[in-house]
Structure 1
Amino acid sequence: MSATLSLAAILAESARRYPHKVAVVDGEQRVTYADLWRQALTCASALRERGVRPGDRVALQIPNVVDFPRVYFGALALGAVVVPVHLLLTADEAAYTLKDSGASLLVCHPSQAAMGSVAAEAAGIPVVAPADLLSAEPLRSYESRAPEDPAVVLYTSGTTGEPKGAVLTHLNLVMNTMVNVFDANDARPDDVVLGCLPLFHTFGQTVGMNGTFRLGATLVMLARFTGEAALDLMVREKVTVFHGVPTMYVALVAAAEGRPELPRLRLCVSGGAALPLAVLEKFNAAFSTSIFEGYGLSETSPTATTNQPHFGTRAGTIGHPVWGVEVEIARPEIDERIELLPAGELGEIVIRGHNVFAGYLNRPEDTAQAIVDGWFRSGDLGTKDADGFITIVDRKKDIVIRGGFNVYPREVEEALARHPGVVQVAVIGVADPVHGEEICAVVVPDAAAGLTADELIEWSKERLGRHKYPRLVRFVEALPLGPSHKVLKRELRRTIAG
């Protein structure tokens, strides 16, 4: 018999070791590890009764409430593959995820039912509420899986704008959870962690939820993040650990002004987008702590590098690779092979190790482009100094990161180009003090249509997820073109943002 490994063990083992400890705080609910694991096994049994088998894909459309880990670990306990659905998508976008992943069923929280039911119907699959899964007789234990079996499929957009399913294995996710809590961060079993990062997103899932459960610590759920709400909850529940994207740190700094009591945060981790130095300094001053900035992608489970106590921190960098992972800088202009560059030179960040995904679901060509010579090509440009600290300088692709969510300009452009009043459009990110970057559509309009910025923004809201539609519209007579008639986005950024 070959070795077995399941991500479900993260919760199963903590239920065995710390049965009476509180695993999750969700409003008035306080759920122990033993109860949460029993509920997960109950969900697993109910999913089996509905025809789900090991290897089948189960989609989850659930906000940051205790139902998420119940169903997530329930599906894993059954040996199924979890497909988290981004909560900011439109019904059409969600239906694409369900169809492309081959999901056999959608578990949809009542708060998402209006959109989820439409998406499930379009995909031709049944939809159930988490509460529907809690009346079965629980399974005795979890199904065994091979380390290389898929555990989770995370949807990430590519440069083509069409989302791709990144297949993450049990080994990928168990190892990334382990190195995050035991090597990369000073995480402790008595931590109380704020769970405000979306659990459908890789950062909140691996670093937040799974890391907390691996230690037997407590996760305090916050479904709708605002600076005020987060501070109130952190003070009330004596939260000691905060994981967030830069926009969350901006909100916490603003909300902290003039408050008599602030949470005593021992460990803060930032990722998802570059953290402005000014924010880091203001946060450290207000909360008398320091933020450890890291870096990762859906395809790397996610953590690839982070500032770590072991190596010391260097503000403005993304630190060192995590244990067992190699991160180097390669020549960006060579596609067919990896040619590593010496220290200090600018190139593409490439990653190799236990965290690199198994590939894109049903997309062998995309996978072959992404993994070259055993290295994952991140598409991000950066440097690695003589001390091993890595710094992100720019992106090879034109990705915009708004509030920690990746937005792919081409996808937005495709939607806007369908408006009858739009002749040509290019989408860029412009610096924004709250979201890091804001989405700006630069439009050549049809003069006869009399299109206004507000009209186009309203139109795009119906066709793009809440994190994707442009908040800014600029009208121009022509877009700057290069010799091959490609739109020069760097020129647009210079003129529009400048």
Structure 2
Amino acid sequence: MYNLATNLERNATFLGNNTALIFQDKTISYRQLNAMVNQAANQLVKLGIMPDEKVAISCPNTPAFVIGYYAIQKIGAIAVPLNVMLKGPEVAYHLADSDAVALISFQGNNALPCGEYCYEGFNQTDSCRHYILIESEGENASIPHDAHRFNQWLLSPETTFNAVYRAAEDTCVILYTSGTTGRAKGAELSQSNMLCNAQACQALTNQKGTDVSIAILPLFHTFGQSLIMNTSILTASALVLIPRFVPKTVMQQMHQHKVTHLAGVPTMFIGLLAFAEKHGGDYIKDIAATLKVAISGGASMPVEILKQFETKLNVPVIEGYGLSESSPVAAFNHLEYERKPGSIGQPLPGVTMKVVDSKGNEVPLGKEGELLIRGHNVMKGYYKKPEETAKTIVDGWLHTGDIVRMDEGGYVYVVDRLKEVIIRGGYNIYPRDIEETFMTHSDVHLVAVIGIPHKTYGEEVKAFIVPKEGATTSSKAFITWGRERLADFKYPRQVEIVESLPMTATGKILKRLLQ
């Protein structure tokens, strides 16, 4: 039986007293977590949601995300996790594109009004029938009259539910990604994709039921979802949930709960290292005494930062590589082998990689080319986009769009990217999405968006705007306008107003000349 939720059911039966989730001052055992997932699953069924229907979920790292995600799995439906920073029109696009019939949304607050944005997007999507609100503690905001109340679901006496049978190839989750071209696309990942990736992550990190991992990566993101949440549930280990990354809070939680496994993007490691250097002593020594492994992904970590972190916390830092389209983990430095800083390591067992030139021919070792991946981790395809899928998966090989080289030991080094994805703090941002938004502004004639180097985030978003004749909108006003319409991680922090953009004879903008 292939259903991701059966891992949770097994742990509830055989290791029910093991701690599953730690959130602020609350501790939830595997038996309790399974019961809460069952309560939510029963309510989803009562709404008439059927196997293979899509249910979107927008929630930060709280127990409600884990409960909602696994309840969707239990009933045989397909989870569509959404970034909590999406604005109303962006939510509407994702709901309509995924054919979601229900949306589970965290209420949020003034600082994170995701409930407000989600309800706006829900009302713009006729095909989405149910709005389910996770009420925030201490918030007095009005509840929409047509909202189902998630917290009340968890008061239900119906605490049993048997997971619906799923075949290995059945879709488990749709993760939205920029892919290689155009607007965000939904990568369809199967039950087998997700289970195999969790098992691979367990093997990579030697995670056991007695370990404690910490979720500083958002669980709606592929990295946090597979490597942190699903792997913890698979191994019956404890998971400390951090809804917002604050180095001091993370360090305190790592110290208090004796965290053994830490995973994050490079900007998080930079923040934690800065805190550790400023607040050293026994506090850091205690963390180093229990921390077994630190995992970095999402972007290349500066080698100097990696070495400093390893020294300061006396822990091996292993770097890896993955895409939403590869479930996500595809390659990693392995603890039992030589770790090469600056390398993404070697392919996972069962995963094959090759490096090819522009004609698809393999290049010699040490030479640069595009990275192709084949194996149990490759997605089924982009949801409802067969042409995009055919461009990305050719003869079973996933074309990553990344330029790499491979050494004689099979270690892979990312050199550059074919695609124009901007990686800001571990988030993938596709310029065309921003450009299309800005082209709706009445004062914009042309716009080109690029990534520029940034010390903290790796890259920052910059827009070059050619205004229409007679337009008077300032750079500052353009930035404000973009912030109101795009997710907070995505809008351009810099806007430069220019008279023209460099172009080829056919009218293609030469973005490399804007760098």
Q: TM-score range by the shorter chain?
A: over 0.9
- Aligned counterpart, 1:143: 164
- Aligned counterpart, 2:37: 40
Distance 2:500 2:157 in 1: 62
- Aligned counterpart, 1:202: 222
Distance 1:454 1:371 in 2: 41
1:411 and 2:433 aligned: yes
Q: Which runs of 5+ in 2 are unaligned?
A: 109-113, 134-149
How far is 1:290 from its partner?
A: 2.5
TM-score of the two chains, using structure 2 as the length reference: 0.91
1:230 and 2:250 aligned: yes
Structure 2 counterpart of 1:275, from 301, 322, 335: 301
Code of the aligned partner of 1:398: E
Q: Which runs of 5+ in 1 are unaligned?
A: 494-498
Code of the aligned partner of 1:41: N
Aligned length: 485
How far is 1:97 from its partner?
A: 0.7
CA contact (8 A) 1:202 1:301 kept: yes
Structure 1 counterpart of 2:385, from 354, 359, 363: 363
Structure 1 counterpart of 2:72, from 75, 81, 89: 75
1:387 and 2:391 aligned: no
CA contact (8 A) 1:192 1:219 kept: yes
1:256 and 2:258 aligned: no
1:97 and 2:118 aligned: no
Q: Does the residue aligned with 2:151 lie in a helix, a strand or coil?
A: helix
- Aligned counterpart, 1:310: 336
Could you give the per-residue CA deviations for residues 435-491 of structure 1, whole angstroms, max 9, x where no partner exists? 110001122234632332211100111111111100012233322223433221122
Could you give the per-residue CA deviations for residues 151-195 of structure 1, whole angstroms, max 9, x where no partner exists? 10101124443111111000000000001112x223232221111
Matches within 5 A, 1:36-435: 36-111=33-108, 112-124=114-126, 125-129=129-133, 130-134=150-154, 135=156, 137-182=158-203, 184-259=204-279, 260=281, 261-262=283-284, 263-264=287-288, 265-331=291-357, 333-334=358-359, 338-435=360-457
Code of the aligned partner of 1:121: N
Q: Percent identity, please.
A: 37
CA contact (8 A) 1:44 1:139 kept: no
CA contact (8 A) 1:317 1:391 kept: yes
CA contact (8 A) 2:103 2:131 kept: yes
Q: Does the residue aligned with 1:79 lie in a helix, a strand or coil?
A: coil
Distance 2:268 2:105 in 1: 26
Code of the aligned partner of 1:43: A
Distance 1:459 1:324 in 2: 47
- Aligned counterpart, 1:459: 481
CA contact (8 A) 2:42 2:161 kept: no
Could you give the per-residue CA deviations for residues 333-371 of structure 1, whole angstroms, max 9, x where no partner exists? 23xxx4322211211111100000111111111111111
Could you give the per-residue CA deviations for residues 287-322 of structure 1, whole angstroms, max 9, x where no partner exists? 222210100001100000011123321000100001
TM-score of the two chains, using structure 1 as the length reference: 0.94
Distance 1:418 1:301 in 2: 34
CA contact (8 A) 1:10 1:174 kept: no
CA contact (8 A) 2:451 2:462 kept: yes
CA contact (8 A) 1:307 1:320 kept: yes
Cα RMSD (Å) of the superposition? 1.5
CA contact (8 A) 1:280 1:291 kept: yes
